[in-house]
Amino acid sequence: MNLGILFSGGKDSYLAMEMAAESNEITCLLTINSSNQDSWMFHTPAIEWTKLQSKSLGIPQIIYNTKGIQDEELEDLFELIKNAKNKFSIEGIVTGALASTYQSTRIQKICNDLGLWCFNPLWQMPQETLLQKLLENNVESIITGVAAEPFDDSWLGRAINSECVNDLMKLKSSYRINPAGEGGEIESFVINAPLFSKKIEISQSRKHYSNYSGRLEIMEASLI
Amino acid sequence: MKILLISTCTHTLNNSEFVIPISDILGDIEHDIMHFEDCNKEILSNYSKIIICGTSMQDFTYVDWLPFFDDLLKEFNRPILGICSGMQILTSIFGISGLIDKIEIGFVEVNTLISNKLFDGRFQAYNLHNYSVNDCNEFTILATSENCIQAVKHMAREIYGISFHPEVRNQEVVKNFLNI
């Protein structure tokens, strides 16, 4: 089946894509670039650099810009998926939704209206399982956003490796953090993975941080 | 006690969404997962209970296989729980209920009509379906939402159908079924 993936560039959408690619053809990446940093639907840090991931994956990408106003962003998402259906003859959509019924309900409705299948391979997956799966599958990602206590700015840019996963699991018990960031506690960006032909090297970046909330602005990056 | 989870998913990718989370609820309880096409009556005789899991909104393959399910399940006289497509299969083969076009996506309020072993009261439940079932003589309606029948029980047997997805919310419904 030809599928499009709702792709934010983070660990969840990549992992969902890898699972879907085992028995399907991923023909396009669908990315929403929201100017609302607090969007409930779309994750924003480093979104402009997904174009490098698209190049490394060898999968074409459609990017739509949205202001991120609650109902309007859904209309933008509808148009994006409709466009992908027409342009790439996709029969279904894959998402990295884990537990957010807010996101999944809205995407299910759009897919049903457009007669498309909707696949959520990570749905209800325990967050520890997800993190372990990332490590087992050699998915290299970094933290590009934090939004919860006790994350300080040293977390920005940190590789999500086994040491980081251990630290996140500790925060689960001490601070009730969702260790995979399902509650928006962390955002991530994949820099290398099995489906990538080249690794992404970030040569220049800047941290923006205050009061347990921050993001890593990638200023210069390239495929190596 | 050994449980069989029957998948109605045409695409294996959907198992991770509709079957594996039910398996996670079962945890250490001994159970197997099998696609319905791989099942036969002899295999089913090894299990004390069956759960027929749901599938994607676009997946209607199970509708074409209703005669197969009829032959497979009619003589299984232990408890069965059908979730979403599973409920539609059970009411179609044990009753005379046809499927009707009724879309529900997301949370709905469920109102319990009759005291039963799976749930009680009013609660929010996650639905994801294009079809629902009709009232029929062979099943008692246990619960409804504003638009649909949400749960049924066979008049004479421990055969239950629920429209909502307990893997998203109301996991205790599955656990209560295991205690029947």
Q: Could you tell me how many CB contacts below 8 A there are between chain A and chain B?
A: 63
Mean pLDDT value across residues B1-28 = 96
Q: Which residue of A lies nearest to B168 if distances are taken between CA atoms?
A: A124
With 90 as the cut, is the pLDDT of residue A207 above it?
yes
A69: confidence class by pLDDT, cuts 50, 70, 90:
confident
Instruction: Give the whole-angstrom CA distance, residue A174 versus residue B120.
Output: 35
Over residues B123-180, the pLDDT tens digits come to 999 999 999 998 888 999 999 999 999 999 999 999 999 999 999 999 999 999 999 9
Look at residue B82 and give its three-state secondary structure: strand
pLDDT band at B40 (very low <50, low <70, confident <90, very high): very high
Nearest to residue A146, comparing CAs of A159, A135, A133, A157?
Answer: A157
Of B59, B107, B168, the CB nearest to A124: B168
Determine, for residues A119 and B126 on separate chains, whether the beta-carbon distance falls below 8 Å.
no
How remote is the C-alpha of A106 from its chain's centroid?
Answer: 17
Quick: pLDDT tens for B84-110: 999 999 999 998 767 889 999 999 999
Most A CBs within 10 A among B11, B13, B53, hence the mutation to make, goes to B13
Which of A26, A81, A91, A112 best tests the B interface by mutation, with the highest count of B CBs <10 A? A112
Q: What is the pLDDT of residues A142-173, one digit of tens each?
A: 999 999 999 999 999 999 999 999 999 999 88
Tell me the residues of A at the B interface, defined by beta carbons under 8 Å apart. Answer: 1, 19-20, 22-24, 92, 101, 105, 108-109, 111-112, 115-126
Nearest to A109 among B58, B105, B126 (CB): B105
pLDDT above 90 (res A222): yes
Contacts of A112 in chain B (CB under 8 A): 57-58, 103, 105, 130
With contacts defined as CB-CB under 8 Å, which chain B residues touch A115? 58
For B106, name the nearest residue in chain A, comparing CA atoms only. A105
Å between A73 CA and nearest CA of chain B: 19
Strand A2-6 and strand A25-34: the pairing is: parallel
A138-223 CATH: 3.90.1490.10
Rounded to whole angstroms, the Cα distance separating A192 from A213 reads: 25
Sequential DSSP letters for A144-167: EEEESTT--GGGTT-B-SHHHHHH
- Asked if pLDDT for residue B8 goes beyond 80, the answer is yes
* Angle in degrees, CA A178, A184, A186, rounded to 5: 75
**How far is the alpha carbon of B171 from chain A, nearest alpha carbon, in Å?**
12
Least Cα separation, residue A203 to chain B (angstroms): 37
- Residues in chain B within 8 Å Cβ distance of A111: 57-58
Asked if B57 lies within 8 A of A124 by C-beta distance, the reply is: no
Query: pLDDT tens digit string along A5-60?
Result: 999 999 999 999 999 999 999 999 999 988 776 665 666 678 889 999 999 999 99
Contacts of B22 in chain A (CB under 8 A): none
Residue A42: the pLDDT is 63
Residue B35 C-alpha from the chain's centroid = 14
Q: What is the overall mean pLDDT for chain A?
A: 93
Q: What is the pLDDT of residue B114?
A: 96
pTM for the predicted model, two decimal places: 0.94
Q: Chain B residues with CB inside 8 Å of A1's CB?
A: 11
CATH 3.40.50.620 fits A2-119, yes or no: yes
E strand or H helix at A4: strand A2-6
Q: Which domains does chain B have, with CATH numbers?
A: 3-178 (3.40.50.880)
Q: Where in chain A is the domain with CATH 3.90.1490.10?
A: 138-223
Is this complex's ipTM strictly greater than 0.90?
yes
Where does the pLDDT of residue B80 fall: very low under 50, low under 70, confident under 90, or very high at 90 and above?
very high
Q: Nearest chain B residue to A24 by CA: give it.
A: B13
